[in-house]
Amino acid sequence: MSTPAVAPLLLHVVGARPNFPKAAPVLAALREHPVRQLLVHTGQHYDAQLSEVFFDELGLPRPDVDLGVGSGSHATQTAAVMVALEQVFAEHRPSMVVVYGDVNSTVAAALVAAKLHIPVAHVEAGLRSGDRTMPEEVNRLVTDRISDLLLATSADAVAHLHREGVDPATVHLVGNPMIDTVLRHVHQLDPARIATLRGVLEQTDPRYVAATVHRPGNVDDPDDTRPLVAALHAVADQVPVVLPLHPRGRAGLTRAGLLEHGGITVLEPLGYLDFLSLVQGAAAVVTDSGGVQEETTALGVPCLTLRPSTERPVTISEGTNRLVTRERLADEVSRVLADGRPAPGSTPVPPLWDGHAGPRIAEVLARALGVG
């Protein structure tokens, strides 16, 4: 009697907060296919609210391997992930490695897998800002260049890959798995609870602006933090600002006087459901985060992105996002407050951002492994 073939092994690498809501729908959908799965957490984000809470709230399986690499410079962190993953890949010999997004763990895993001749699938391939001063842009370019399957969230991402000479047969437009996670949990969001916790509803005007800032171009240099803080103060002159503050940049923003305005409330990083609740209840969101641009589009919340460019232009052309400068931020907030929140369901959503990207990705991966 012949021995049954062993099911192929998919090894998923996650490491930072943006990875988890992208991976959760893929892991869940693959349970319907004859594959084995191994989840590796690099520990790039190790704070409980930036990492641990996602496993509890999103139904992610506990990591099979937790590398615990921690923080450090880009080179230090990427090197530590590469060294640790080389041992993991050598031990488990996965049939394919699946990476997500554009963080250091993503490019590190892709490099190690490629050099060990293990196929790589990149979820969220093809995004481009055109700004190579952003570390994430370099990570995207390198990861896409060495990946075997490129799973794109939007048509513009597919177009970027085609222009770069990527074999069209390896590119698949699958939609956005992060939106799967938003739509799955939207019924659990409770903006009133979050607003009450920070006292917003004690104001005469219950409106507030939610803000997130962490990009180097906004928080690393005092020449950037001072005008950013001035812009946030100008917003807080109009409406309360609630700012869950990423550890990155906290000290610099504080030195620049962020807390000197009584209309700004700084919170510790929030869990996934609490953060989305804060976003859903906001009159507008001010951010420099890529993922928040997508989440606000899914929730129909006006988004003002403090960056000169975005790798997610579809959130502008078919969403609620707008690029703004620090100098124009207060005026743009005034405009949004005057216009009011759009009616639920009235704002456009990009094609295939429908809550079914996870199953589409699982189908592509299964076919590539010969089991779909």
Cα dihedral 195→197→200→203 (10° resolution): 130
Strand order in the sheet with 209-212: 264-267, 241-244, 209-212, 284-287, 303-305, 321-323
Q: Which residue in 354, 346, 258 sits closest to 302, CA to CA?
A: 346
Residue 356 bridge partners (DSSP): none
Q: Kindly give, in sequence order, each residue whose CB lies less than 8 Å from that of residue 282, ignoring residues fewer than 6 positions away.
A: 191, 208, 209, 210, 242, 301
Answer yes or no: are the C-beta atoms of 158 and 350 closer than 8 Å: no
Answer yes or no: are the C-beta atoms of 337 and 239 closer than 8 Å: yes
| 41-54 residues labelled b (16+ CB within 10 A) or e (exposed) | bbbbbbeebbbebb
The CA distance from 88 to 78, in Å, is 15
Q: 264-267 and 65-66 as β-strands: parallel, antiparallel, unpaired?
A: unpaired
Single out the catalytic residue among 33, 160, 214, 246. Answer: 214
- CA distances 371 to 5, 33, 37, 318, Å, are 11, 7, 14, 35
- In the chain, the amino acid numbered 289 is S
Strand order in the sheet with 149-152: 65-66, 36-41, 9-14, 96-100, 120-125, 149-152, 171-173
Our answer to whether residue 261 is catalytic in this structure is no
Q: Which residue in 274, 249, 251, 92 sits closest to 192, CA to CA?
A: 274
The CA distance from 310 to 313, in Å, is 6
The helix, strand and coil proportions of the chain, stated in percent and rounded to the nearest 5, come to 45, 15, 40
Answer yes or no: are the C-beta atoms of 105 and 65 closer than 8 Å: no
Task: Read off φ and ψ for residue 361, nearest 5 degrees.
Answer: -65, -45
Residues annotated as catalytic are 214
